[in-house]
């Protein structure tokens, strides 16, 4: 999130597009039958309304350099598949959490662990999709050789979407520590964040980002093997205070 490159899109393209497509071309030349690509839900966009979820059939609408680069990589992979006959499978995860998770998710974990009061008790109506590392890996393994996965795009999540307050409480349960939340209206939180230049961060805490994994479930007969609570329990093991 703390972008330091003078031209982030150029840097993201260098790795996410050029690096990916170079590897895919070599794989096709070597006779690899199927290429599984971990993309990002950012290809769909940055958030959803309260009444709908992202689906695999949505038109791409990336809004930042990272999302744009992932979209371009997907497009390039489809071209290579058409030219070479190599099968391509695209998986778009939302935020992935597990042992060693970084950024905002790690910050929330540390806040709960340290008993820091957070003004998020009223953030109960938003919903966000997450995916535990174990669930993502299980889907990727499924995509390696499942006959129905060829040339498909799959969204993935834990299958249970959480509000921000709900996530913090569940993290507290995983740590056997109560999440210390107090109530401030979300509109005031967003206003304060905007004034401090942290509007995007507030949106990730206050807004919605839901993914519909119905296509994934139905096409692959796949179900996330571990629950949200088990995923959170595994994520907090070994957390350094």
pLDDT at residue 2, rounded to an integer: 55
* Placement of tokens 């096409």 in the chain: 219
**CB of 45 within 8 A of CB of 146?**
no
What pLDDT band is residue 241 in, cutting at 50, 70 and 90? low
Describe the chain by its helix, strand, coil percentages, rounded to 5.
50, 10, 40
**CB of 149 within 8 A of CB of 215?**
no
Q: How many residues does the chain have?
A: 241
pLDDT at residue 201, rounded to an integer: 83
pLDDT at residue 216, rounded to an integer: 98
Read off the pLDDT of residues 86-123 as tens digits, 9 standing for 90 and up.
999 999 999 999 998 988 899 999 999 999 999 999 99
Q: Which residues are catalytic?
A: 66
Read off the pLDDT of residues 155-166 as tens digits, 9 standing for 90 and up.
999 999 999 999
């Amino acid at each position: 999130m703390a972008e330091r490159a003078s031209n982030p899109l150029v840097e993201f393209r260098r790795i996410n597009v050029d690096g990916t497509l170079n590897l895919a071309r070599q794989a096709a030349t070597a006779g690899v039958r199927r290429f599984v690509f971990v993309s990002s839900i950012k290809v769909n966009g940055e958030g959803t309304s309260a009444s709908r979820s992202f689906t695999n059939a949505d038109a791409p609408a990336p809004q930042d350099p990272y999302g744009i680069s992932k979209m371009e990589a997907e497009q390039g992979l489809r071209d290579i598949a058409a030219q070479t006959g190599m099968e391509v499978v695209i998986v778009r995860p939302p935020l992935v959490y597990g042992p060693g998770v970084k950024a905002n998710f790690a910050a929330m974990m540390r806040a709960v662990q340290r008993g820091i009061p957070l003004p998020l008790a009223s953030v109960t109506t938003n919903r966000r999709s997450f995916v535990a590392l174990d669930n993502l890996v299980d889907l990727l393994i499924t995509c390696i050789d499942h006959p129905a996965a060829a040339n498909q795009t799959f969204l993935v999540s834990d299958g249970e979407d959480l509000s921000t307050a709900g996530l913090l409480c569940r993290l507290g349960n995983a740590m056997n520590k109560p999440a210390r939340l107090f109530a401030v209206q979300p509109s005031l939180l967003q206003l304060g964040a905007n004034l401090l230049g942290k509007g995007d961060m507030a949106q990730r805490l206050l807004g919605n980002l839901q993914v519909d994994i119905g296509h994934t479930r139905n096409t692959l007969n796949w179900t996330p093997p571990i629950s949200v609570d088990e995923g959170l329990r595994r994520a907090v093991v070994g957390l350094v205070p």
